[in-house]
Amino acid sequence: MKIIDVRSLPIPDIKVVRFARFRDDRGYFTEPWRRSDVENDPATGFLNGLSFPQSNESYSRANVIRGLHFQWNPFMGKLVRTVSGRMVDLALDIRLASPTFGKILAYDMPSSPAEESSEWIWVPPGFAHGNFFTEETIIEYLCTGEYSPGCEAAVSPLAADIDWTLCDTELRHEFHEVVQGGPTISDKDRDAGSLSSWESDHRSNNFLYPDLSTDAA
């Protein structure tokens, strides 16, 4: 895994790791993940000590919205990449007392075979995760915890009380265009409820800041 660079998004706990593809006239080869490279690179220290016991793959059609999901017992951090197509990833801070509580980020992650590199986005515990798609897309994500159906919840991505002020304005506009055009979204996600309803739920006390900072994750 040749790590090119690592950067923080406007909520610094959310990281983007860019890694190289090796191209020739046949196509390309890449190592999306190699533990030793991550452990030996000081820029990826936020991933040290983590294991990924579950890997998921998801296919979505254009105008699909998924999320915003989170889990506890065990907590689930996610390392997510686009295999093909275009994903716009969404991460909502649900850590009680966090200075960015209730704020959401969107990050554009298209993937084309012609590109010289690809990216992972790291969404640690304490964030509700989702995405939307403007074309047919396959994504993969590595999870720090196995799925626990009795300990999961969600905030609807359509909730009116989500704060989009830190979000890229063009991506925010694209999201609302998908919403206005009639997205494909599960009833469970659409009806998941507002941020304030989750905040008043006693289970929200599982997500406290700074207990769920990157260093603690």
Q: In the chain, where are the structural domains located?
A: 3-206
Annotated catalytic residue, options 107, 141, 176, 202: 141
CA gap 25, 210 in Å, rounded: 49
Residue 141 is among the residues annotated as catalytic for this protein: yes
pLDDT digits (tens, 9 = 90+) for 69-90: 999 999 999 999 999 999 999 9
pTM comes to 0.94
pLDDT at 140: 98
pLDDT band at residue 214, thresholds of 50, 70 and 90? Answer: very low
> Do residues 55 and 112 lie in contact, with contact meaning Cβ atoms separated by under 8 Å?
no
CA gap 16, 139 in Å, rounded: 15
Annotated catalytic residue, options 69, 107, 129, 209: 69
Q: Which of 109, 74, 105 is nearest to 217 (CA)?
A: 74
Residue 107 is among the residues annotated as catalytic for this protein: no
Fold of 3-206: Jelly Rolls (2.60.120)
Q: In the structure encoding, which two tokens stand for residue 76, read together?
A: 């689930």
What's 88's DSSP letter?
A: E
pLDDT digits (tens, 9 = 90+) for 7-64: 999 999 999 999 999 999 999 999 999 999 999 999 999 999 999 999 999 999 999 9
